[in-house]
Structure 1
Amino acid sequence: MRKSFLSATLLVALRLAASAPGSYGQAAPKLGENPFLRDVFTADPAPLVYKDKVYLYVGHDEAKEGQMFNMNDWRCYSSSDLKNWTAHGPIMNVRDFKWATKDAWASQVVARNGKFYFYAAVQEGAPANAKAIGVAVSDSPTGPFVDARGSALVSDKSTPGPNGWDDIDPTVFVDDDGTAWLAWGNPNCYLAKLKPNMTELDGPIQRIEVPNYTEGPWLHKRGSTYYLTYAAFAHQGMSEKLCYATAPSVTGPWTYQGILTDQAKNSYTIHPGIIEFKKQWYLFYHNATLTLPTGESGALGRRSVCAEYLYYNPDGTIQPITHTVAGLSAPPRKGDNPAPPRHPPATPAAATPLSASPGVTITQNTQPRPSQWPGTPVFSTMPNPANLALDNLSFNHNKGVTSFGQTFEVKADCRLTRLDLFGGDGFGTDAKQPVALALYDLGPANGLAADAAAYSVGTNLLGATNSQNFNYTPQAAGILQFDFAAANQVMLKVGHRYALELQGAAKSAPLFWRVSRQDTYGGGSAYQDRQPVQLNNKRGYDFALAVYGVALTN
């Protein structure tokens, strides 16, 4: 009785909040207009279809001026028509996980075994002091939820690396055969099978390699096609957009399908939730456009949940989605419209040969996340590019640049046969976003310091025949390989310093070259517009580069 009364009271409050003046949209917004939850700030929506209702789980944003995020509990709302929503109040507090200290971040609930399992990202206490994923359980979709383990399901020791925030944004997908999968992560997308009890991992943690991935994965299936939708581009220095990929299996191979929807208004983050309900598909996300009746307005840590209709093309790809104020207050279309143009076109996830000058073969993504360079290079700027080159740079860096260069020396005269770069992601090349490869001899190394404040160039050693205006389609970060075996090969001289450059249009981002966070190579340095790369007002970095050649004999 008490719970029923509370829900009814909150429903009245929610409707009153929706009609309050000063909110985004009309003074008295229609039911279903975005953002459609208006009683508090909400974020990271995770919808669950159960019986004849949708249950929507959200984080509760409470950040004040000057705060990034202040999230202490998770909330649940339910609806049978996606317009009238009942608020069920907080369903769990972050400190209900006794081993957690703060940060009630993204969550999701799935129904299994007659119970409801709640997966959430939190901050684990000492000694880990890092992000982790907990799991709680309830007999009801509206809680109360209690910790199902008494410890983290996934902790920082599960995914060792340089970042303490790897383990966030869990999503759980139960396949048709009953197998449950957990995906999560920032800046890596992790995947693991769950045991039937839903509270333990069942086997090793894998990685899903897709372009531009940042965080917020969401798995769903339509027919025989698996979909991975995720927040993208934050690690490339931009506000997040939603991208997606498709696969014949939850374990891949994944084919990148491009951008699903643009960045959310007033918010650099975005988080997807996708469901089918009563034969219609929907996308849930958040922006930061709401003003509460109290006068508090949306901001970085004060986001609000929105929804749009989602439609598929005949080939199974998803039609791009535009954010609207109308949201679900407008009726859905009758059926899917013909496929509109997509950007970029679908490309295979496997290694892809690119067009190049005669005699030069370019292959992208030959080795995602390389822990070492393939074969035996003449030299490399770092031994373990995946662990040392953690940052992405493209021509949108700072106010925009037109070249990135890495200077280097060779220890013996040789013929250049191949260049390997660790890079990828981005929007791909086109007429407005070209990329060229150039190589310059800067002269005797003793006349130019390895970390000189600038360098100037002469003739491009690749020449008119071999100059590399090359085509690139977005791929997960890996090795881009330029093979000169059948071309007029450049002779590299011992005692000279060289500069390898990627050249492009300022403010564009066709692809990203990975750069270290420290000085990893003593024979050269990383440059932007032929001046040292500046990160956090400091210099002394290197791009991930390996040079291959054949030694010259007398």
Structure 2
Amino acid sequence: MARNHRLSHPAVPTKTSSEITSKKSLLILSVLALFSVSVNAEQYEPGENPIFRNIFTADPAPLVVGDTLYVYAGHDEAGEGQMFNITEWVVYSTTDMKDWTFHGSVMKPTDFDWAIRDAWASQVIEKEGKYWFYTTVEHGPPHSGKAIGVAVADTPLGPFRDAKGSALAFDATTPTPEDPHDWDDIDPTVFTDADGTTWIAWGNMHLYLARLKPNMIEFDGPIREIYLPNYTEGPWLHKREGLYYLTYPCFAHQNMYEKMCYGTASHITGPWTYQGILTDRTENSYTIHPGIVEYGGQWYFFYHDAKLAIDGVPGAMGRRSIALEHLYYNEDGTIKPIRQTKAGVSVPRQPPGGYQRPIFNPGGALVAVDSDIDVTQNAAVAATEWESRPVLQTTDDPYNTAIVPESFNHGDGGATSLGQTFSPDVDFRLEEISLYAGDGFGTTEDEPVTLALYELDKDDEDSAEMGSVSSYRVGRNLLESGERLRINYRPQAQGLLQFHLDEHRQPELKAGRRYVLELQGVRDTAPLFWRRTKTDTHLTGAAYRDRSLIEEESKSGDFGLALYGEALQEQ
């Protein structure tokens, strides 16, 4: 049952629970929420962040209906030591963006008969007089893992009921056989275009897009995959003046806290252009989640952080709070970078003057424009095979096998080199190098990347014949002529990154000898990510970090690498 609480003044935090169902209990809770003095020492003005302070909330999803703006959110209730415990979906409403009414719980995961827990990210849209609720839950037997359900109601406040009787998408629907994880199907965003067609996008690590049938509970055609740099999860679709926007949390799969990135496209199916970082990480929270909406002729950006404390309980990864900022566009349609503030929308809109360029590296350094080598980017996004016929390749299907991103920021110590060893079957002159790589912040003057190729020292005959040893030593760099070989790279989606060697830099590589190709960078930086396999796909080599073998569960893998060149005639 919905509970209407005005939140224009600080209120005593109240804890909603599935056990509290009687009208008497609801009345008591309402009185406490309306008339008690806040236990939070800090006072807030209407419109300041966080905008909801009666309970912990996460994953904001705004919806405009007439002159009212609704925001749906998960109720965060993680206890000490818990990562997440999101028990229900609640909704708030406003007509002025400052004073909010709390309507309480509108649905719980177990309202889907096939689900067992976890009220993860959701979005509600209106179509033809019905309100469609697309959300993430934990699927019960016989399936396991996260799934997307669809509920429907006659009003924005519910009651919502299961519209399909089964999951719209679950792990078997979107298989990634070489990259299995049971939270693949999460965080749906739903968008109805001007022609009435409704699209849904979702996913963790993989970003899926599908068209919905008019019944809103079935896919109409194939599930596509969208490739954007640094994508992690939590997508949000919107459209403005004919341009499509896809905003998403990024970098979490790259050993970093989530930031917010976005891309644009002239058609919803792409191609999508990466536009950089919209806003940096939030305080105390590993995650961030977007909600973008136009209301009253103005644009707004919702997100969550973990700054709020309630009843002395501090914010945390599973105790987050929703915040709100004004959103502004440049004349070319790009979004001006967003600064997270306490003031939020309590202050009048003050559009920053002039063009504000997209952020690629939070340090602000421009991407380096000089390079000592001819670089081709985006040659083949999500390549399932190498272009042409390489002389040597470490895996024959990089997209499906090279699934682990590695940069110089791994773990606590980081690294200054990533290396792949190999031994050719034939003598050849090396002309071109192709890596399966992408993501990251891009190369800068302060965070450069250089390329090196060494012939390895032989410790003994046994190690020379092995595909991998625990570490290696290097001698002369076969690609150097004076200075190190710098590369220029801007963030790209995972795909082929190709280096074309000038004639004077083309070394002759000998069959049976052991070499290592290295990417060298600044420790604890992430200009790009070279992807590797989890298993041994190249028998005469292996992947190394700081010249030490990378092993997972006693298994070594290989970086995605292909070498091209001209075979040498036998003398």
**TM-score bucket (shorter structure):** over 0.9
1:534: Cα distance to partner? Answer: 5.3
Q: 1:553 to 1:199 in 2, by over 3 A?
A: same
1:320 and 2:320 matched: no
Q: Which runs of 5+ in 2 are unaligned?
A: 8-26, 362-368
Give secondary structure in 2 for the equivalent of 1:406. strand
Deviation at 1:343, TM superposition (A): 2.2
Tell me how far apart the structure 2 counterparts of residues 262 and 12 of structure 1 sit (CA, whole Å). 39
Cross-structure match for 2:207: 189
* Deviation, structure 1 residue 364: 1.4
Q: 1:478 aligns with which of 473, 492, 495?
A: 495
2:441 is aligned with 1:430: no
Aligned to 1:103: 118
Are residue 389 (structure 1) and residue 402 (structure 2) matched? yes
Instruction: Give the equivalent residue in structure 1 for 2:149.
Output: 134
Q: Please report how far the alpha carbon of residue 250 of structure 1 lies from its aligned counterpart in structure 2 after TM superposition.
A: 0.9
* Residue of structure 2 in register with 1:198 after alignment: 216
Q: Displacement, 1:416?
A: 1.3
Q: Give per-residue Cα distances to partners, 1:296-328, cap 9 Å, x unaligned.
A: 221111111111111111111111111111112
1:401 counterpart SS class: coil
1:450-469 aligned within 5 A = 450-464=467-481, 467-469=484-486
Note if contact 2:457-2:472 (Cα within 8 Å) is conserved in structure 1: no
1:30-69 correspondence to structure 2 within 5 Å: 30-69=45-84
Structure 2 match to 1:496 = 513
Correspondence for 2:271: 253
Partner of 1:370: 383
The separation in 2 between residues aligned to 1:82 and 1:455, in whole angstroms, is 61
**How many angstroms apart in 2 are the aligned matches of 1:404 and 1:419?**
15
Provide the alpha-carbon RMSD of the alignment: 2.2
Structure 2 counterpart SS, 1:235: helix
Matching residue of 2:254: 236
Distance 1:5 1:436, change over 3 A: closer
2:116–2:138 contact (8 Å) kept in structure 1: yes
Distance 2:140 2:431 in 1: 51
> C-alpha deviations, 1:404-439, integer Å up to 9, x for none?
111110111111122111111000111011111110
Alignment-derived partner of residue 212 in structure 1: 230
SS, match of residue 95 in structure 1:
helix
Q: Look up the SS of the partner of 1:60 in the other structure.
A: strand
C-alpha distance in 2, partners of 1:112/1:539? 51
Q: CA deviation at 1:76?
A: 0.7
Give the fraction of aligned pairs with identical amino acids, expressed as a percent.
Answer: 52
After TM superposition, give the deviation of residue 553 of structure 1 in Å.
Answer: 1.4
After TM superposition, give the deviation of residue 341 of structure 1 in Å.
3.8
Tell me if the contact between 2:375 and 2:488 (Cα under 8 Å) persists in the aligned partners. Answer: no
**For residue 307 of structure 2, what is the aligned residue in structure 1?**
289
In the TM superposition, residue 144 of structure 1 has moved relative to its aligned partner by 0.6
Structure 1 residues 4 and 532: CA distance shift in structure 2, 3 A: closer
Aligned length: 536
Q: Tell me what 2:556 maps to.
A: 540
- How far off is 1:488 after superposition? 4.2
TM-score norm. by structure 2 comes to: 0.89
Question: Match of 1:439?
Answer: 453
Judged with a 3 Å threshold, the aligned counterparts in structure 2 of structure 1 residues 67 and 3 are, in CA distance, closer, same or farther, namely closer
Report the secondary structure of 1:105's partner residue. Answer: strand
Measure, in 2, the Cα distance between the counterparts of 1:511 and 1:137.
Answer: 43
**Which SS does the other structure have where 1:386 is aligned?**
helix
Q: 1 CA distance for matches of 2:100 and 2:346? A: 13
Is the contact made by 1:451 and 1:525 (CA closer than 8 Å) also made in structure 2? yes
- Would the alpha carbon gap of residues 155 and 317 (structure 1) be closer, same or farther in structure 2, given more than 3 Å must change? same
TM-score (normalised: structure 1):
0.92
Query: In structure 1, the residue corresponding to 2:172 is in which secondary structure?
Result: helix
Q: C-alpha offsets along residues 325-353 of structure 1, whole Å, 9 cap, x if unaligned?
A: 111222211x45211343239xxxxxxxx
Amino acid across the alignment from 1:363: T
Match of 1:407 among 414, 417, 421: 421
Write out per-residue CA displacement over residues 73-106 of structure 1, whole angstroms, 9 at most, x where no aligned residue. Answer: 1111111112111111110110011111111100
User: CA contact under 8 A between 1:416 and 1:490: conserved in structure 2?
Assistant: yes
Unaligned runs of 5+ in 1: 346-353
Which residue number corresponds to residue 366 of structure 2? none
Alignment deviations for residues 163-196 of structure 1 (CA, whole Å, 9 cap, x no partner) = 2211100000111111111010001111111112
Give the letter aligned to residue 135 of structure 1: V
For 2:421, give the aligned amino acid: T
Q: Which secondary structure state, in structure 1, belongs to the residue aligned with residue 432 of structure 2?
A: strand
Q: Is the 8 A contact 1:400 1:507 kept in 2?
A: yes
CA distance in 2, matches of 1:132, 1:39: 29
Q: Which amino acid aligns with 2:43?
A: A
Match of 1:169 in 2: 187
Give the corresponding residue for 2:19: none
